[in-house]
Structure 1
Amino acid sequence: MSVSRKAINFDLYTNELKKHFQDTREAYAQVKEFMLKNGFEHRQYSGYASKNSLSERAISKLSTKLVTNFPWLASCVKRFDVTDIGEQYDLTDQLQILSKSIHKDIPKNSPDKEAKLAELRTEINKATQSKTHNLNTKNKNIER
């Protein structure tokens, strides 16, 4: 594991959680509060991304803090995965543009709908590749 931003995703056994909580959502709420206080952002469900780069040792310390704060966690955890986050691209704008074009600009029964969609995909791919190229160039300049 390299020193990089980390993604942490986990799954808990519901039946085991019921032994510790009346409402199993409480367990997830406790872990969420812990993760937010320890430099992570909540991405989705039980998925978190570190705000900063972390070493393997830092992840080990975080794991120790987790089981110290939540004694129930060890018996309830089904999976607890840590992944190095590589390059990350936000395609939100492209998805919104595509959606708007599909649902507003291209009539539902348009005879050339497929051709227009292919044209939109090409435009989005070019924009995405341009962003990727700019990010890669920026990263190479930083490394120098």
Structure 2
Amino acid sequence: MHNGKERTNPNGAYRKIQEYLVKRNFSHEQYSGYHSCNQTTDLEVFDLIRAMTLELPWLSQCLNHFEVTNVGEYHDLMNLFEQGVIEPILSKALTKT
């Protein structure tokens, strides 16, 4: 039994989407972003979306966009931020208001 508030609560929808994708080897990155933990073909993504809409039939009514990016390789660049960087000095012409 669901009450009206539970059925319209966006947090419940986000949780269901997260559970669905995590079970299928995706990691939650930030906000509504997910990364596949494995290389995934376009066909696998299409099949996943079709199955997802069957399991979560309300999903299409909640989306304002759904994007897939094929990145290829993942490169962690955090080590670039560990080096000290000198803060630039703005010229007086740029700082006048």
TM-score, with normalisation over the residues of structure 2? 0.73
Gaps of 5+ in 2: 89-97
Gaps of 5+ in 1: 1-17, 107-112, 115-144
Q: Per the alignment, in what secondary structure is the counterpart of residue 45 of structure 1?
A: coil
Q: Per the alignment, in what secondary structure is the counterpart of residue 83 of structure 1?
A: coil
Q: Deviations over 1:56-115 (max 9, x none)?
A: 2211110111111111101111101111013322122322x23xx46xxx7xxxxxx65x
Ranked by relative contact order (alpha carbons within 8 Å, sequence separation 6 or more), the top structure is 1
For 2:74 and 2:17, the matched residues in 1 are separated by: 25
Give the one of 10, 13, 17 matched to 1:27: 13
Identity %: 32
Structure with higher strand content: 1
Aligned length: 86
- Residues 83-102 of structure 1: matches in 2 within 5 Å? 83-95=69-81, 97-98=82-83, 101=84
How many Å apart are 1:20 and its aligned residue?
Answer: 7.3
Structure with higher helix content: 1
- Residues 25-104 of structure 1: matches in 2 within 5 Å? 25-95=11-81, 97-98=82-83, 101=84
